[in-house]
Amino acid sequence: METEQQRLIRSIFSHDNPDNFDPRGLAIYRRNLVASACRALSVTFPTVEQLIGESLFRHAAQQMLSEFPPTAPDWGVWGEHFSRLLGQLPELEAYPYVRDCAQLDYACHLLNRAADCETDFHSLQLLVTAPTDHLLLQLSEGFSVLTSDYPVADIWLAHHDSDELSEDWIDRIHKKTGNSGKHGALVYRENHRVRVREISVDEQRWLGFLQQGMRLSDALDEMQDTDFNFENWLPEAVYQNIVSAVKTADLTA
């Protein structure tokens, strides 16, 4: 059932005011609503705002309100469809990478609002006491991987690394944009702070094997002919809250 707020938003962005709200009140509410939407989206999508500028960002926020109005009083849960909308706006054709950057921003936003994940450090002793064909690595829920035709991890880092976009970052992004193939971005939380880094194809494959529940020995066998180094990866993965525990495998399976 349509709520009063949804009817009000529909009237705000329609030309004929189908629900007969006071036009003067609508004008005031329209300004306040757009301002609130811009503030909320700028918190969730800070990289996008920097990329496209204030004017285009405000236009995108207005379109977002019209097509995907909020359904909850908490502005922080609004924005799921923003990346899709950005990819459809003709005004943003000069920014083909902005949709993927929005997906990365939103992944960071969700992880920032998520509960902390605990690591079972005691279980890591199994890596020393048990053979690898008896073990599974349990991954945390506190990370996500995105892939893009563009170096979105570098774009994100360039806009969060400092107050100004340096020439070094610009050169790095341009060089990687010209390369064929997919670019990966890992979103994780380290010391309660959300971070982003580039992730290689090999590491994406490795995480995929672990997410499938593959035994540690089998996953390592699959990575033998790659540059992946488990000994280097594991301590970083624990520190970055990617690995949450080591489990014993069901040997009857």
Report the pLDDT averaged over residues 226-247: 95
Task: Return the pLDDT at 2.
Answer: 57
Least confident of 163-167, 178-182, 212-216: 163-167
pLDDT at position 39, please?
Answer: 95
pTM of the model: 0.85
Single-letter residue type at 193: R
pLDDT of residue 16: 61
Look at residue 3 and tell me whether its pLDDT is greater than 70.
Answer: no
Binning pLDDT at 50, 70 and 90, where does residue 11 land?
low
Q: What pLDDT is attached to residue 186?
A: 97
Going from the C-alpha of 183 to that of each of 111, 139, 145, 149, 155, the distances in angstroms are 21, 22, 10, 6, 11
Express each pLDDT in 81-126 by its tens digit: 999 999 999 999 999 999 999 999 999 999 999 988 889 999 999 9
